[in-house]
Structure 1
Amino acid sequence: MKLFLKYHGPAILWALFVLIICSIHLDSVDKSPMFFEGFDKLTHCGLFFTLIVLVCFGVIRQQKPRQITYTRAFVIWAASVFFGALIEVLQASVFTWRSGDWNDLFCDVLGACMGIFSVMLTVEAIGKNEKK
């Protein structure tokens, strides 16, 4: 367990942060002139992008050679999509001050796709650079 937390601690903390930030009562914050229309969707995308990068970072650091397979990347992506769907269901049923939204789930999936793509691209580029 200690070894698992060594590599995946930041990802677990980030997932808890995402759950908390998606469950708090925002009241009229989204109507503030400081935020623009669609800020919530951009936030969802960024939260899940960061979540994917942190989970992949933990997985890559945990193994030798430092790489990530397509299968493992898909499992990480699917788990994050499930987490996003769970948050939307919780917003619709438990956190009644929030509303579950399909558009938010779409932005979660989009952020997860961007995160997986960037991790796979970076790992591939580092692998090619090390072979030279």
Structure 2
Amino acid sequence: MKILFKYYGPAVLWALFILIICNMPMGAISESPRFFPGFDKLVHCGLFFVFVVLYYNGYIRQNGIKRVPYTALVWLTLLATAYGGLIELLQLYVFTWRDGEWNDLFADAVGVGMGTFSMLLIGNAIDHEEI
């Protein structure tokens, strides 16, 4: 089991960090003058972008490849978006001090899409690299 998930440690830790930070009571932080409207959505997008990139990094290192296959891209995109949906359901039904919002899930999905797109660009750049 340790060998199977050897390079996924950063992605798993980041997923736990997302779970913790998205379910902490934040109080009136959204009303603070230090944050602009929509700051929460930007944070959701960034958290899931980093999560997807860390996962792809682990996948690439684990399999010893240069680019992620399209099937793996599709599966991780679906799983990461489902993870965002799970967090929103937890916020709605379990951690009642937080609000589960469709807009947050959309921001999560945008972050997942940005991470997937960046990995596609990197894979394409590696394929067309001139030595």
Q: TM-score range by the shorter chain?
A: over 0.9
Following superposition, the deviation at residue 4 of structure 1 comes to: 3.5
Report the alpha carbon displacement of residue 128 of structure 1 after superposing the two structures with TM: 1.6
> How far 1:65 sits from its partner (Å)?
2.8
Unaligned runs of 5+ in 1: none
Q: Shift in Å at residue 45 of structure 1?
A: 0.5
Per-residue deviation at 1:90? 0.4
Question: Which residue of 1 is the match for residue 49 of structure 2?
Answer: 49
Question: What count of residue pairs does the alignment treat as equivalent?
Answer: 131
What residue number does 2:32 align with? 32
Q: CA deviation at 1:48?
A: 0.6
DSSP-derived class of the 1:36 partner: coil
Q: Provide structure 2 residue ranges, at least 5 long, that are not aligned to the other structure.
A: none
Of Structure 1 and Structure 2, the greater helix share is in 1
Matched, 1:19 2:26: no
Structure 2 counterpart of 1:22, which letter? Answer: C
Alignment correspondent of 2:8: 8
Query: Aligned partners of 1:93 and 1:67: how far apart in 2?
Result: 39
Question: Cα distance, 1:66 vs. partner?
Answer: 2.4
State the percentage of identical aligned residues.
50
Question: Which amino acid counterpart does residue 101 of structure 1 have in structure 2?
Answer: E
Relative to the length of structure 2, the TM-score reads 0.95
Partner of 2:120: 120
4+ residue runs of structure 1 moved beyond 6 angstroms? none
- 2:99 corresponding residue in structure 1: 99
Q: Give the TM-score taking structure 1 as reference length.
A: 0.94
Matching residue's letter, 1:79: L
**Residue aligned with 1:7, SS:** coil
Aligned residue for 1:2, secondary structure, equals: coil
1:83 is displaced (CA, Å) by: 0.2
Q: CA deviation at 1:3?
A: 2.3
Which residue of structure 2 lines up, in the alignment, with residue 86 of structure 1? 86
Q: Determine helix, strand or coil for the equivalent of 2:80.
A: helix
1-structure distance, mates of 2:54, 2:4? 13
The one-letter code matched in structure 2 to 1:75 is: W
